[in-house]
Amino acid sequence: MIFQIPKSVEGCFKIGMELLGSLLSHLKSVCAGFADPRKGRGGNLVMSDFGLSAFAMFFMQSSSFLSFQRRLEQGQGRSNCQSLFGIEKIPSDNYIRDMLDAADPDLLRPCFEQVEAHLHHPAMRSAFGRLGGRYLIALDGTEYFCSQKLSCPHCLTRKRANGKTESYHTLLAATVVAPGHKRILPLFPEFIAAQDGAEKQDCERNAVKRWHARHADRLRTLRPVYLADDLFACTPVITMLAGKGDDFLFTCKPGSHKALYDFMEGAEPERFVRHPLKGKKRFTHRYRWMEQVPLRDGKDAPLVNWIGFDILDPAGKVTYASAWVTSLPVNAATIEELVECARARWKVENEGFNVMKNHGYELEHNFGHGKAFLAMTLAGLNLLAFAWHSLLDCLDPPWQAARAAAIKRAGFFADMASITAFVVFPVWQDLIQALTTFKIPPELLSQPKIE
């Protein structure tokens, strides 16, 4: 099939990409504020060059992007680092690692907040809004670095069966998801790391408390519903959310919530059954719920609403079964959408961690560990690139057209890496137009070398 540029997009290349320009301008100002470890000596490179150079590699989905641009600069006297990302001079890889090691990843928070602000856009509300326009934020942890040789003060540690100690990094991801929508949007994460003065090693439950304290008030205008696995369906987390009036949908397994399931035993839950047709086969969707059940033993146990859901094949065999607890009201009118939303938690694993680790971002690759913040700051820049890609996929017509022309995501980024290795594009609009039309403007191929 030959891709045709939609008429609504044809004329917008020259005026498009304002979103990306705004995001890059803000990131540059944030990176300029990184502490300069050169102790007053300074240098011929400004601090923003180091942060933007690292980010450019993640955004372009190419670990070779900087080396290609150095060669391009040697040949043509300029590169796409300068024209597209606003990098004045391209630092060496080791210089980038040395200079970013002291940059606390928390400094990137304003860039993620800029991404969050776009969630109020009608197109984002339409794409991600569920349960009457509310946003689903999935919380989950993932490991992104592990070594028996490298470590830093922020590493967690564990002993293996062979007696060797491993150092590793994990983070708690907060991700906007929606059932029926293939995009997700990463928000600012909480790094699970050694905490000053803490006697015990950090964990996901401690991290979610810190994340909620730092971000929940700001996000409340989105009317979020928090999704998480069974680990978070505990009294401290649920009490924390209830105290702020926040809603949740958490997985609730019988093995870890014996008191709750004992309480329900013998009682008759409300029931609702559907028989959807898939192809020529009719399945059974069986819904059950019970309101105001205690999460655990004790008079002070928080009360939650329980939901159970099973899928049975035409032969009556259960092919899927899960259960959740929630603060949201449950009835026959809401149960189906609640279950759809609860099941969307898996998107943080499938469309989130799986993509980050195996499809371009290479989150688990050791781009640099450092002695202070480097591993975390690079992970933060990587997540930010993912967030920008999602935002552009949802809001920017020229970018959408270029993505559609490539058909597959991997092809789009491969084309972008290839074409920028040989041609300098003065502005993003020119690059995106070339990716969409498969034509490079002739004037870009005959530019004289800049001495």
Q: What number is the average pLDDT over the span 5-14? A: 41
pLDDT of residue 1: 35
Query: How high is the pLDDT of residue 15?
Result: 40
Which residue intervals of the chain bear CATH 3.90.350.10?
106-358
pTM of the model: 0.93
pLDDT at 10: 42
**Is residue 449 very low, low, confident or very high in pLDDT (cuts 50, 70, 90)?**
low
| pLDDT: which is higher, 449 or 190 | 190
The pLDDT score that the predictor gives to residue 2 is: 39
pLDDT at 21 over 60: yes
Q: How confident is the model at residue 194 (pLDDT cuts 50, 70, 90)?
A: confident
Q: 3-class secondary structure for the chain?
A: CCCCCCHHHHCCCCCCCHHHHHHHHHHHHHHHCCCCCCCCCCCCCCHHHHHHHHHHHHHCCCCCHHHHHHHHHHHHCCCHHHHHHCCCCCCCHHHHHHHHCCCCHHHHHHHHHHHHHHHHCHHHHHHHCECCCECEEEEEEEEEEEECCCCCCCCEEEECCCCCEEEEEEEEEEEEECCCCCCCEECCCEEECCCCCCCCCCCHHHHHHHHHHHHHHHHHHHCCEEEECHHHCCHHHHHHHHHCCCEEEEECCHHHCHHHHHHHCCCCCEEEEECCEECCEECEEEEEEEEEEECCCCCCCCEEEEEEEEEECCCCCEEEEEEEEECCCCCCCCHHHHHHHHHHHHHHHHHHHHHHHHCCCCCCCCCCCCCCCHHHHHHHHHHHHHHHHHHHHHHCHHHHHHHHHHCCHHHHHHHHHHHHCCCCCCCHHHHHHHHHHCCCCHHHHCCCCCC
pLDDT band at residue 8 under the 50/70/90 scheme? very low
CA distances (Å), origin 139, targets 121, 333, 415: 23, 26, 33
Task: Say yes or no to pLDDT of 400 above 70.
Answer: yes
Predicted local confidence at residue 11, as pLDDT: 41
For residue range 121-175, list pLDDT tens digits in order: 999 999 999 999 999 999 999 999 999 999 999 999 999 988 899 999 999 999 9
> Of the ranges 40-54, 207-221, 236-250, which one carries the lowest mean pLDDT score?
40-54
Question: How confident is residue 27, by pLDDT bands cut at 50, 70 and 90?
Answer: very high
Instruction: State pLDDT tens for residues 322-343.
Output: 999 999 999 999 999 999 999 9
Mean pLDDT over the full length of the chain? 93
- Token code pair at residue 422: 């040989």
The CATH code that applies to domain 106-358 is: 3.90.350.10
